[in-house]
Amino acid sequence: MDTLKANLELFEKMVLIRTFEETVQSLFQKGAIVGTTHLYSGQEAVATGFASALQPQDLVAATYRGHGHALATGVTPQSLMDEMLGRLTGVCGGRSGSMNVIDLEHRLIGCFGIIGGSIGAATGAAIALARRNGVAIAYFGDGAINQAYFYECLNFAAVRKLPVIFVCENNLYGEYTPWEDVTAGQIRARAEALEVKSETIDGNDVWAVQKAALASFDYARNGNGPVFIEALTYRFVGHSRSDPGKYRKPGELDAWKLRDPLIIARKRLVDEFSFSPQEVDAAEAGVKKRMEEVREQSLKAPSPGLKKLGSEFMELKRTGGGGA
Ligand SMILES: Cc1ncc(C[n+]2csc(CCOP(=O)(O)OP(=O)(O)O)c2C)c(N)n1
Ligand SMILES: [Mg+2]
């Protein structure tokens, strides 16, 4: 694919993720989506940049803030939106909710509600991938690095030279707590102590992320062992469904909004990649129109059928299976 087109596609992918999240938010507020949601708005460049370096044999593990990772990896917007609405046509048949999406067809081995679950899954997958020229990528937050298994997995991957890319998305908060209140020293120091190749990058510039991603995949795929990336970014919305974000420092959100990944990408497309503002606008409008169609189709999609779910539940109770 020519580079100019590929650059525009990075922007389109980020618009897709942002618009998807705005749609989820509005459907949630209307009561059409139940449970909870953790939106990725503001962090789009991280998943988009890393996904642009994936090869077909690679595998991805993400978090409960995983809609963006899923879309970037290749899960279709329709199947994901259907899933959000609990429909039969959803990527997991309407049973995963927002937090636990999995799509093996599109390399997504899971989105994990347990903090750091992605780290264990990707490290395990890398044992197999090492024999298939593949790389596993684990996305997780700044809060996950204080979980014990982060150290176990990083150490194991380093000792066994496993092809894992550990991507810590430092969005400054774990729920409502600033990362530095619960974390001693610098985040990257953990990787440095284990002599794991590491880098801190601007997680809001999709081309900076892509550059780091290409180098990381190359390094890991060639048998050199894991890579640890700290991507500096910020979420523009609350931690989850009803968080008004009162813990943010004054002016912090506004300052980060000036560094919105979509604004940065738009500027670079025009200034460096010779797109006209009208071409960028048209690309954005095209994605938004597509998402509107997705939303309409999802609202008409069939529900799994409560009767069937009910009888399965009774069967599990009868046989004592399923932990119901
Ligand atoms: C093992 C575990 N402990 C606690 C929680 C509750 N919890 C949900 S999200 C969260 C904060 C995680 O912050 P971070 O890793 O920075 O990710 P972010 O939400 O910022 O993307 C916590 C503590 C959990 N889901 N799993
Ligand atoms: Mg965080």
Tens of each residue's pLDDT in the chain, 324 residues: 688 899 999 999 999 999 999 999 999 999 999 999 999 999 999 999 999 999 999 999 999 999 999 999 999 999 999 999 999 999 999 999 999 999 999 999 999 999 999 999 999 999 999 999 999 999 999 999 999 999 999 999 999 999 999 999 999 999 999 999 999 999 999 999 999 999 999 999 999 999 999 999 999 999 999 999 999 999 999 999 878 899 999 999 999 999 999 999 999 999 999 999 999 999 999 999 999 999 999 999 998 876 555 555 555 555 544 332
The CATH number, out of the four listed (3.30.413.10, 3.30.930.10, 3.40.50.970, 3.30.70.890), of the domain defined by the range 3-174+187-319 = 3.40.50.970
Atom of ligand 1 nearest to the CA of 140: 15
> From CA 142, how far away is CA 179, in angstroms rounded?
6
Residue from 236, 316, 315 nearest 68 by CA: 236
Half-sphere exposure of 98 (CA within 13 A, CB side): 22
Q: 40 in ligand 1 pocket by Cβ < 6 Å?
A: no
Ligand 1 atom having least distance to the Cα of 171: 20
Which ligand 1 atom is nearest residue 145's CA?
Answer: 15
Ligand 1: atom nearest CA of 141 is 15
Global confidence as pTM: 0.94
Residue 143, ligand 1, Cβ within 6 A: yes
Q: What is the DSSP letter of 201?
A: E
Instruction: Count the residues in the chain.
Output: 324
Mutate to test the pocket of ligand 1, among 115, 142, 169, 235 (most ligand atoms within 8 A of CB): 115
Least distant ligand from the CA of 173: 2
Q: What are the structural domain ranges in the chain? A: 3-174+187-319
With 0-12 / 13-18 / 19 or more C-beta atoms within 10 angstroms meaning exposed / middle / buried, residue 33 is buried
CA dist., res. 25 & res. 237, Å (int)? 10
Ligand 1 contact via 175 beta carbon (within 6 Å): yes
Work out the number of other CB atoms within 10 angstroms of the CB of residue 265.
Answer: 27
| 108 Cβ neighbours under 8 A, 6+ residues apart | 59, 60, 61, 62, 69, 70, 73, 74, 75, 101, 102
Q: Which ligand is nearest to the CA of 112?
A: 1
Yes or no: say if 189 and 196 are a contact pair by the CB < 8 Å rule. Answer: no
Nearest ligand to the CA atom of 171: 2
Neighbouring CB atoms inside 10 A of 130's CB total 19
Q: What residue ranges in 151-212 does DSSP mark as E strands?
A: 164-170, 173-174, 177-178, 197-202
Q: Is 245 in the pocket of ligand 1 (CB under 6 A)?
A: no
**Side-chain half-sphere CA neighbours of 224 within 13 A:** 15
Q: Report the pLDDT value the prediction gives residue 304, as an integer from 0 to 100.
A: 83
